[in-house]
Chain A
Amino acid sequence: EPEVTQTPSHQVTQMGQEVILRCVPISNHLYFYWYRQILGQKVEFLVSFYNNEISEKSEIFDDQFSVERPDGSNFTLKIRSTKLEDSAMYFCASSEDSQQSAEQFFGPGTRLTVL
C-alpha cells in the first residue's frame, strides 16, 4: 500500500541552525501539507501546497519557514533559524485532490529537537 515517507525520523540541531525536513508524498497525490505537534499538545496546521505554490498557511507559518518541491518526488520544509520552541514532531501529509473532504494521508513524522 502506498504511503507517505519522511526523513530523518529524528533530527537534533542547535538553536539558530537551519534544518530541512524531507517528505516523499504518495506518488499520484497532488496536494501536500505540513503539520507539527509539540509533545503532549495539539496537532497544528502549518501549510498546504499545490502546483508549486502555497495554497494556505496558518499564522504559525512565518518567515522562518519555507516549503519547496525541488523535484518530482520530494516535498521539504525548511526552518531557517531554529528556536527552542520549534522542537516538535513534524508531520507531512498528502491528498489526491483538494476537495475539502479529501482524506489526507500522514507520514510517520520527523521528531525535531532544538538544543
Chain B
Amino acid sequence: GQNIDQPTEMTATEGAIVQINCTYQTSGFNGLFWYQQHAGEAPTFLSYNVLDGLEEKGRFSSFLSRSKGYSYLLLKELQMKDSASYLCAVRAPNDMRFGAGTRLTVKP
C-alpha cells in the first residue's frame, strides 16, 4: 500500500530545535515536499528534496534518505509563529500524496 506517516502532535519550547519525522511507502518517487499549514489556511511551501542528504534554508532544514523511505524537517530557534501543522508530501506519478500532518505547538 501507499503510506506516509508522521507523528500526530509535537510540543517544543521557544528557542529550541525540533525534528519532525516522516516515513513513506509510495508507488514511485519524484521528490518529497514539506509544507507548513496554519489552522484554517492554505499550505505554504517549505522545502523539496529529491536526492539523499540535507537541504538547508534559514531556520529550516530537510533531510532525505530514499533507501530508508525517510525524511525529517528540522526547525531551529523556534518561534511562537512556528506553531502550525507540518505536512510531508511525496510526489509520485499522477499523484502528490500528503501525510496527515504533524501539529507542532511552540510554548514560551
On whether A91 and B43 interact (CB within 8 A), knowing A43-B89, A101-B50, the answer reads yes
Contacts of B91 in A (CB 8 A): 100
How many B residues, CB 8 Å from partner?
22
From B48, which residue of chain A is reached at the shortest CB distance?
A101
Interface size class on chain A is 20 to 34
Given contacts A100-B50, A100-B91, is CB(A45)–CB(B96) below 8 Å?
A: yes
Residue A18 CB within 8 A of the other chain: no
Kindly count the residue-residue contacts between A and B in the assembled complex, taking CB atoms under 8 Å apart: 43
By a CB distance below 8 angstroms, the chain B residues around A105 are 45
List B15-53 residues whose CB lies under 8 Å from chain A: 30-31, 37, 41-45, 48, 50
Distance from B46 Cβ to chain A, minimum over Cβ atoms (Å) = 10
- Stretch from B60-68, B73-81, B97-105 that touches the partner: B97-105
Residues of B within 8 A of A (CB): 30-31, 37, 41-45, 48, 50, 87, 89, 91, 93-101
